[in-house]
Amino acid sequence: MRSIFLIGFMGAGKTSVGEMLAERLGYRFIDLDQRLCERFGTTIPEVFESHGEKAFREAEREELVRCADGQKLVVATGGGAFCSEKNRQIIHASGGLSVFLDPPWETLGARLAGDNAGRPKYGDAAQARRLFESRLPDYRRAMRVVGLAGSESAAAAADLVLAVLEEAPCAT
């Protein structure tokens, strides 16, 4: 099977589900935001603050290219990464499989209301919801969509992803 790129909004569980999924598949796990923190030697809010979103997005694309090298990886992308057509091309041209983790807004909104420090794209609940809705058409361009209730554990959500992959497998 090919590399899997988890996409979706902030709070969708891309990192926690990605870690479980990588374990289940025996793939290496990469968290793109983590890579960016290491690259800049600081936190994401600091990168936005000191370098600006443009520099963040450029670095995000470069790190994505580094991940899209055909290795067997599970990559948790940041919530904005798949909203760039160029980034979608990088993922798909590498043979990567994009998987949209899709819990309902109510789950995302509740999670973000309780945990939004470190998320520079989160302003308040209404703004976050508008951002989520504006990004949905891009998220829906993913090759697979995994509907989540939002109440599952990361392990259960990883099993749901695996079930979707098995229903519609992608040979390498």
Q: Which residues bind ligand S3P (CB under 6 A)?
A: 10, 14, 33, 44, 78-80, 119-121
3-state DSSP helix/strand/coil % of the chain, to nearest 5: 55, 15, 30
In this structure, are residues 31 and 23 in contact, taking their beta carbons and an 8 Å threshold? no
Q: Which is nearer to ligand S3P, 137 or 169 (CB)?
A: 137
Q: Which is nearer to ligand S3P, 1 or 7 (CB)?
A: 7
Structure-token pair, residue 33: 């935001």
Q: Which is nearer to ligand S3P, 49 or 163 (CB)?
A: 49
The rounded distance, in Å, linking the Cα atoms of 23 and 17 is: 10
Q: How far is the CB of 134 from ligand S3P (least distance, A)?
A: 11
Q: How far is the CB of 121 from ligand S3P (least distance, A)?
A: 4
Q: How far is the CB of 47 from ligand S3P (least distance, A)?
A: 8
Q: Which is nearer to ligand S3P, 116 or 143 (CB)?
A: 116
Indicate the DSSP class of residue 164: H
Structure-token pair, residue 15: 């990192």
